[in-house]
Structure 1
Amino acid sequence: MNALFPSMRTRLRRLVRLVILLLALFVTPAAGAPLRVAVGVPALQTLVSGVGGERVETLVLHGGGDPHAFEPSARRIAALADAQLYVLAGLPFETSWVPRLRAINPKLDILDLRQIGGTRMTDDSLTTNHRHGGSPDPHVWTDPVRALQLIAAIEDRLITLDPDGTAHYRERSERVSQDLRALDAEIAPVLAPLRGGVLLVFHPGWGYLADRYGLRQIPIEVGGREPSAAQLQRVMDLARQRGARALFLQPGHGDRLARQVARELSIPVIIADPLAADYFGSIRTLVRALQTAPEIP
C-alpha cells in the first residue's frame, strides 16, 4: 500500500520540484534587473547586500530557527529558481538543498566560502583536543578579520557576473571592509584582558571569533545534540573551572536547558545570534556581555 500511495510529504516534495522547474524554465531576469544572489542565512545577506547595494537582490534560504532542523518552504525555494549566484557557507541544510537548486537551475554559480582561508572543526568540550574532526564549522563570518576575505571574494564574484558594476562594487566593498576593520579595532582591546578565557555557548556558532581573540569556545551541545546528564555535569564543571562569565544562546537552540545551566552556574543568559541580520550588533552584544559579566562566584 505504501509503495502505491506515497506519503503526503513525498508528494509535496515532488510538487515543489515541478513548480520550481517550471519557474526556472519560464522566469528569466529582465535586462537591467538586479543581480539575484542567494545566501543561506541573514548574516551573509548583510555582507552581500553591503557589497552589492541596489545592483543586487539578496535572497535568504533560511529565515531563522535551528538550521539543523530547517526545511525551506516551496515559496522560498521557488523564489531562488532564477538566482544567478549562491554564496555557500556549508550549513547543515545546504548539504541537501543546494544540490537540488543546482539541478533545477544549472546556471546557478556557487561561491563556496569554505574554500576561502580554510575551515576549523566544530568545538567539542568533552575531548582533550576540544575540536573533534567530524564536523567542519561553517560560521566563518563571525571573525571580523576573516570576514574581510569573504568581502573581497564576494566583490570579485559580483564583478565577474556584472562587470558594468565594477566601480560600484569596489566602492561598497571598501566601505564594508572599513567597517569590519573598525569593528576589529573596537573589540580587540576589550577582549585582550580575557585572552585564555572561555566562551560558554549552547550551540558552537562563535568558534572563529573565539579563535581570533584567544578564547576557548565551550559548547553545551555534544555532537549537535543535547548532552546526557553525565556529559552536562562535565561541561558545567569545566565552565566553573575556566571561569565562564555568561552563557550565550542562539535562538532555536535549547532555551530551556540553557537557562537551567545558567541558573546552576549563577551566570546570565545572553542572546547572541551568529546567523542574525544585525551582524555588527550581534558581535558587539557578545563582546559587551563578556566585558561586563562577572566570573562564576
Structure 2
Amino acid sequence: MLENLAQEMQAKVQVMIRVTPGVEAHTHEYIRTAQTDSKFGIGISDPLLLEVVAQLRNSTVLCLTGFHCHIGSQILEEEPFGLAVERMMGLMSKVGKELGVCVTELNMGGGIGIRYTSADTPLTPQQVVRHITDQVTAVAQREGLPLPALYVEPGRAIVGEAGLTLYRIGSLKEVPGIRHYLSIDGGMSDNPRPALYQAVYEAMLVEKANQEPTIKVHLAGKHCETGDILIKDLLLPPVEPGDILAVFATGAYNYSMASHYNRTPKPAMVLVSRQGVFMLEERETYEDLVRQDRIPMHLRS
C-alpha cells in the first residue's frame, strides 16, 4: 500500500520496520508490547521479516533506514532494554550478512518508568540511555557493525511527574466491617489507567497534608462501573465534602486517554509555572458534548 502511494505521488519515502524482539518486560501484560505473541510489529524470528527487508531493498520508492521496537511501558529495570538491544543489533547484522542491506538507524522506543508511588524506584533517562548506548557499542564492535543513529522515546519520563489531578471530595460511604468508599467528582473518564491495567497512584488532601491519616478508603469514581476505583486502600486524614484531593504523577497518559464516558465533560487543564498560571484546555460544558449531535427529522416529533 505504501509503495503504491509513493509511486502515485512520485515520491521517495524513508521507512523503518517495527520489530517485535521477543522481550517480555516486567510490567503489566496490557502494556507489554514486544513479547512474541503481540499485535505489534513483525516478530524477529518470523521469516516474513527478511522477506519485507528484501522487498524494500528492491523498491525504487521506499528506502529502509532502520528498525524500530518498543518493549513496553513503565519499565523500572535496565535488563529488558539491554536484551532488546542485543536482539535488534543482531538483526541488523543478519540483514547485512544475508541480504547485503546496511541500515543506519535504530529506534529503541520508550518505556522509561516514573515514580507513581513510593515503592517505585525508576531509572533516570540518563541511566537508560547510557545502558543502551553501552550495549549498542559493545554489539557493534563484536559484530563489526557501524554505529547506528540511535533514538529513544522518553515521553512519560519527561512529563509524567510534572502533572497532578485535583478532585473534589463528595460523600463517604461505610460498609460496616468491610471498607469505606470516598466519592470524587471524576474517575475513569479522566483517568482510565486503574480500571484498564490496575495502575497505582498516591494522593493527599491538599489542605490537610500535614495531618495524620485516620481512615482507609477506596477512592470511588463517579461512573456507573464497579471497577471505577481510582485508588484502593488510600490512607487519609479526616475528610469532609468539598475537600480537594491531589493525585500525583498524572502528567502522562491521562488527558490523552480521557473520554466522554457516561457523557461526562472533560476537566480543564492548567499550567502552573514561575511565569504564572495559564489555561491550556478550557473545561468542557454539556453544550460542548452535544454540539456535534444531530437528530434526524423523522425522530423530532
TM-score interval, smaller chain: under 0.3
**Higher gyration radius (CA):** 2
Structure 1 or 2: larger helix share? 1
- By relative contact order (CA 8 Å, sep 6+), the higher-ranking structure is 1
Give the alignment's TM-score, normalised by structure 1. Answer: 0.28
Structure 1 or 2: larger strand share? 2
Give the alignment's TM-score, normalised by structure 2. Answer: 0.28
